[in-house]
């Protein structure tokens, strides 16, 4: 049975370009993905992007690569950036995550763990890749990178009146369903008025970070007080991959 991972689009748009080689490559990529071979499917899509940079719907091909990148990171795929780790006595998921510079959430996701219970001798697939984040205020995008590879580009909202600070920072805080402290008020997690949404990735610059939103329709605009807003689904996806200490660059 073919493996179908969440977050990957399996319905392809028809290729309007008349090049039969492009059509054949696209069909091959779809076949690999349908069969569950995401690594080969991604390889074909990357070949298309290199060989046909001016193809119609180029962004659709890019999105296929981005979705496959995330699915490979989340899934049970073994690459040169993963390790099959044997749990030792005294290990916890936190200890393992800290050892490999990853997150508990990503370990659980890759290994289909519903709880944090582990036992000696058990094997876990661990992600070894090192992430960085680059936020571009000029087009309101956030690029998640693994080394030099762009994993995925997300639309974001940045600060109105150019209030998002330019520079390089690190992720210092990670919170699920954060409480919002605003002008002396305390807005509870999940409150409809809580502008932080479902996740908070706080910078080492106090009061600034990446978070969700209660105004998804304004993503792509410069509307925040300086923080970086993402759609809740996007920030939840990002949160699972991003450990403490991850570098974040905000550029003009």
Give me the active site residues, please. 211, 227
- Please report which residue ranges of the chain form alpha helices under DSSP H: 20-34, 38-51, 58-74, 93-100, 104-110, 232-241
Q: Which of 243, 242, 225 is nearest to 234 (CA)?
A: 242
What's the gap between Cα 24 and its chain centre?
Answer: 30
101-109 long-range contacts, CB within 8 A, separation 24+: 101/128, 101/130, 101/243, 101/245, 102/126, 102/127, 102/128, 102/243, 103/174, 103/240, 103/241, 103/242, 103/243, 105/239, 105/240, 106/73, 106/74, 106/240, 106/241, 109/74, 109/240
Q: Which residues contact 200 (CB under 8 A, 6 or more apart)?
A: 173, 174, 175, 178, 209, 210, 211
DSSP conformation letters of 195-215: TTTTEEEEESSTT-EEE--S-
């Amino acid at each position: 049975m073919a493996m179908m991972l969440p977050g990957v689009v399996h319905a392809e748009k028809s290729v309007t370009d008349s090049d039969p080689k492009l059509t054949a490559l696209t069909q091959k990529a779809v076949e690999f993905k349908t069969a569950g071979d995401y690594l080969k499917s991604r390889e074909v899509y990357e070949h298309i992007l290199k060989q046909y940079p001016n193809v119609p719907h180029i962004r659709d091909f890019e999105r296929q690569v981005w979705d496959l990148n995330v699915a490979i990171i989340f899934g049970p795929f073994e690459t040169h950036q993963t390790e099959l780790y044997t749990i030792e006595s005294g290990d916890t998921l936190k200890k393992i995550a800290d050892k490999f510079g990853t997150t508990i959430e990503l370990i659980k996701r890759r290994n289909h763990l519903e709880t944090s219970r582990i036992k000696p001798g058990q094997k876990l697939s661990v992600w070894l890749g090192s992430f960085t984040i680059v936020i571009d205020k000029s087009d309101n995008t956030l690029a998640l990178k693994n080394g030099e590879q762009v994993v995925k580009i997300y639309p974001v909202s940045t600060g109105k009146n150019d209030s998002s600070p330019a520079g390089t920072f690190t992720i210092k805080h990670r919170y699920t369903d954060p409480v919002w402290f605003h002008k002396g008020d305390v807005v509870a997690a999940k409150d409809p008025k809580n502008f932080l949404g479902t996740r908070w990735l706080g910078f080492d610059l106090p009061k600034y970070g990446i978070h969700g939103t209660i105004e998804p329709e304004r993503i792509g605009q410069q509307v925040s007080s300086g923080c970086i807003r993402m759609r809740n689904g996007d920030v939840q996806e990002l949160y699972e991959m991003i450990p403490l200490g991850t570098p974040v660059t905000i550029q003009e």
